[in-house]
A and B are shown apart, each in its own frame.
Chain A
Amino acid sequence: MARRTLVGWAFLAPLVAYLLLCYGYPLLTTIDLSVRDYTVRTFVHGGAPVVGLANYTAVFADPVFRTALLNTLVFTAASLVFQYTTGLALAVFFSRHFRLSATLRALFLVPWLLPLIVSASTWAWMFNSEAGVVNAALAWFGLDAVHWLTSPDWALVSVIAANVWIGIPFNLVVLYSGLRNIPAEVHEASALDGASAWQSFRHVTFPMLRPVSAVTLLLGLVYTLKVFDLVWIMTRGGPGGASTTLATWSYELGFGSMLPRFGPSAAVGNVLILLAVVAGLVYVRVQRHQEAS
C-alpha cells in the first residue's frame, strides 16, 4: 500500500510542482505587491517599502471603488439572470426532437467558442453610434439613435448585452443535458394527471432541474466575476468609469498607463479573488451535497 501511494505521488509530482510554481508563487507575489509601495524603479530593482494595508485602505477610500464594486455586482447579476432564463427557455425548446435540432443546437455554441476579442470588437462595431447596425435597426422602427458605448447611461447595458450573448450557449448546453437526465416517465405521469405543459414545467421539470440550475448559476457567477477582455475592449471601463468593474480597474491601475500603480492594482485584484473564492467554495459545497444525495 505504501508503495502504491509512493508511485501515485510520483505521477502527481510534476503537477504539484507546477501548481506551486505557476499558481502558488504568482498568488504570493500579488499579496506581496499589495502590501508594498512600488514605483517602476523598485518594481524592477526591488526594495519597495512595506506599507501594510495602506494600499487596501487607499483603494477602499477611492470613489472609483464604489462604482467598480457596484458595476461588478450589476454586471454579474444581470448577466446571470438573462443568460440563465434565455438558456433555460432554449433548452426546453430543444429538448423535443425535431428536424435539424442537433445541428441548430451545435450552431448555438459558436458565440461561446469565438475568441473574446472577436466577439467584443464585433459588438463594439454593432453598437457604434453613427454606423452601427443596432442604431440602424432603431431608426427603422422610428426610434432615436442611442450612444451605446459612449454614454454613461448605456455603456454598462451594452457590455451586459454582449456578455449575455456569450453566456447563453453555456447555459443552454448544461441545462439541456440536465433536462435530458430527467426520466421521460415523469413527464408522462404528469401529462396523465392532466397537467398542462406550463404546469408540468413549473411543478415537475423546474424543481427536478434545481441541482443543475444551481451549478449552472454558480459556475456562471465564477466566470462572470472574472470577465475582463470583453469590457476592456468594448469600453475600457468608460466613459468616465461608467462601466468600470473590479477586473478592469485592477488592470487599469497596473497596466493602463505609463505610471503603473502595482500596489493598488494588486489590492483590487485580491478583493476580486476573495469574491471569486467565496463563490467557488459555495460551488464546491453544492457539488459535494449533490454527490452525497
Chain B
Amino acid sequence: MTRSSWRTAVGVLLTGVMLFPVYWMVNVSLTPPGELRKSPPDLVPTNPTFDGYARVLDEQLPYFGTSLLVALGTVALTLALAAPAAYSLAKLRPRGRRPLTFVLLVAQMIPGIIMALGLYGIYVELGITNTVWGLVFADSTIAVPFAVLILTSFMSSVPDEVVQAARIDGAGAWRTFRSVVLPASRNGVVTAGLFAFLWAWSDFVFAATLDSGGSMQPLTLGIYRYIGNNNQEWNAIMATAVVASVPATALLVLAQRFVAAGITSGAVKD
C-alpha cells in the first residue's frame, strides 16, 4: 500500500465517522415506526418504509412553501441592500465610511435571541407579527452585514482602471455599478445570496418568536411542532429533516467553492 492510498483510506474512515449522524438520520427516516424502539437498532434499513416521506408530502408541504418564499425574499432584500452599499465601500470610498464597516462587523456579533426580542416588541406594536414579510425582514438581519462585507471584498478586486475606463466612456456611478462592477463580481453575489438563502431557510429563532401564530409558517417550526406533538414518531420527524436538508446538500454539490470562499472570507486575509 502506498503512502497516498493509506491516507485516502484514513480520510474515508474519518469522513464516515463525521457523517454518521447524517447517515443515521436517513436510516431512521426509512425505519418502520414499529421497529424504532428495537434494541439494538438496525444499522441498515432492513425493512425500509417510505411512510415517513409520504407523511412529509401530506402534512409538511405548506411549511416548505413558506420557507422557500421567506428564503427567496431574504435573498432579494439582502442583495438589493448589500450590492449598492458594497459598490460604494469598494469603489466610491466616500469619506466617513470606516465607522460603518465597524458597525457591520459588530452587528454580526449580536445574538439572534436579542434581535428577536427587540423585533417582537416592535412587531407587536405595529401589529405585523405572523407575517411572511415580517419574517423576511428579521431573517435578513442575519445576512445583510455579512453580504455587505463579502461583496465589498469581491468588488475591491475589480481593477480601478476598469471602473475609470467606464467613467471616461461617460458612464455615471449607477451605470458603472450595474454594467461593470456588478457583473464582474458575480461570484461574490452568488456567495452572498447562497448564505442568505441557507440562513433564512434554517432560521428557527425568528420563526419561533415572530411567526409562531401565523397562518404561513416555515419548516423549522413544522419540525419543531412535530417533535413537540408526536414524540414517538421519529420516523416522520427524520423524514422531514432529510427533506429539509436537501437545499443545503444541493448547494454544497453545485457551489462548493462558493461555500468554502464564504466561510474563509473575513477569517483569513491573503
CB-defined interface of B89-125 with A at 8 Å, one 1/0 digit per residue? 1001111110010110111111111111111111011
Give the residues in chain A near B208, CB-CB below 8 Å: 255
Assembled-state Cα–Cα distance A229/B224 (Å): 11
B106 to A277, Cβ gap below 8 A?
A: yes
Inter-subunit contact B107/A269 (CB<8 Å): no
Task: Give the CA-CA distance A142 to B136 in the complex, in Å.
Answer: 51
Which range holds the interface residue count of chain B?
35 or more
Q: Are B224 and A94 in contact, CB atoms less than 8 angstroms apart?
A: no
Given A11-B85, A136-B40, answer yes or no on A93-B268 (Cβ-Cβ < 8 Å). Answer: no
Is there an interface contact between A109 and B202, defined as CB atoms closer than 8 Å? Answer: no
Render A28-66 as a binary contact track against B, CB cut-off 8 A, 1 for contact: 111011000000000110100000000000000000000
Contact of A115 among B36, B234, B244 (CB under 8 A): B244
Contact: A23 with B110, CB < 8 Å? yes
The one of B95, B114, B124, B234 in contact with A30, judged by C-beta atoms closer than 8 angstroms, is B114
Q: Are B252 and A110 within 8 A (Cβ)?
A: yes
Q: How far is the CA of A104 from the CA of B263 in the complex (A)?
A: 17
On whether the beta carbons of A250 and B114 are closer than 8 Å, the reply is yes
Task: Say whether A100 contacts B12, CB under 8 Å.
Answer: yes
Number of A-B pairs whose CB atoms are under 8 Å? 296
Distance (whole angstroms) from the CB of A285 to the closest CB of chain B: 11
Return the CB mask of A117-144 against B: 1 if under 8 Å, else 0.
1110111111000110100100110000
Whether a CB of chain B sits under 8 angstroms from the CB of A233 is yes
Closest partner residue, chain B, to A99 (CB atom): B8
CA–CA, A279 and B83, complex, Å: 28
Contact B248 A272 (CB under 8 A): no
Residues of B contacting A: mostly: helix
Residues of B contacting A269 with CB < 8 Å?
111, 113-114, 117
Instruction: Decide yes or no whether B227 CB sits under 8 A from chain A.
Output: yes
- Residues in B with CB closer than 8 Å to A12 are 84-85, 88-89, 94, 97, 100
Given contacts A7-B173, A225-B111, A229-B205, is CB(A168)–CB(B18) below 8 Å?
Answer: yes
Binds B, one of A14-22, A74-82, A150-158, A194-202: A14-22
Q: How far is the CA of A94 from the CA of B83 in the complex (A)?
A: 35
Minimum CB–CB distance from B160 to chain A (whole Å) comes to 13
CA separation between A4 and B77, bound complex, in Å?
A: 26
Contact partner, B21, options A98, A113, A119, A273, Cβ 8 Å: A119
Across-interface contacts of B18 in A (CB, < 8 A): 107-108, 111, 165, 168
Residues of B close to A173: CB separation below 8 A: 260, 263-264
C-beta contact mask, B75-91 vs A, less than 8 Å → 1, else 0?
A: 00000111011011100
Check if A193 is an interface residue, CB within 8 A of chain B. Answer: no
Q: Which residues of B contact A276 (CB under 8 A)?
A: 109-111
A251 proximal to B (CB < 8 A): yes
A99 & B88 in contact (Cβ 8 Å cutoff)? no
Are A136 and B39 in touch, CB under 8 angstroms?
A: yes
Chain B, Cβ-Cβ closest to A212: B268
Contact of A15 among B81, B93, B223 (CB under 8 A): B81
Contact A222 B109 (CB under 8 A): yes
Contact between A22 and B248 (Cβ–Cβ < 8 Å)? no
Complex interface: chain A residues within 8 A of B50 (CB): none
A117 lies within 8 A of B117 (CB): no
A170–B270 Cα distance when bound, in Å, is 18
Interface residues of B in 114-164 (CB under 8 A from A): 114-122, 124-125, 137-138, 140-141, 144, 148
Residues of A within 8 A of B251 (CB): 113
The answer, yes or no, to whether A101 is at the interface (CB within 8 Å) is: yes
Residue positions of B touching A, CB distance < 8 A: 4-5, 7-8, 10-12, 14-15, 18-19, 21-22, 24-25, 28, 36-41, 80-82, 84-85, 87-89, 92-97, 100, 102-103, 105-122, 124-125, 137-138, 140-141, 144, 148, 173, 177, 198, 201-202, 204-205, 208-209, 220, 223-224, 227, 234, 237-238, 241, 244-245, 248-249, 251-252, 256, 259-260, 263-264, 267-270
8 contacts between A and B (CB under 8 A): A8-B94, A23-B110, A28-B118, A30-B114, A33-B121, A114-B202, A121-B241, A226-B113
Given pairs A18-B144, A25-B118, A228-B113, 11 additional interface contacts (CB within 8 A): A9-B94, A11-B92, A12-B94, A98-B4, A107-B18, A122-B241, A136-B41, A269-B111, A269-B117, A280-B108, A283-B109
In the A-B complex, list the 7 residue pairs whose CB atoms are closest, starting with the nearest: A8-B94, A26-B118, A115-B202, A11-B88, A8-B92, A280-B109, A15-B85
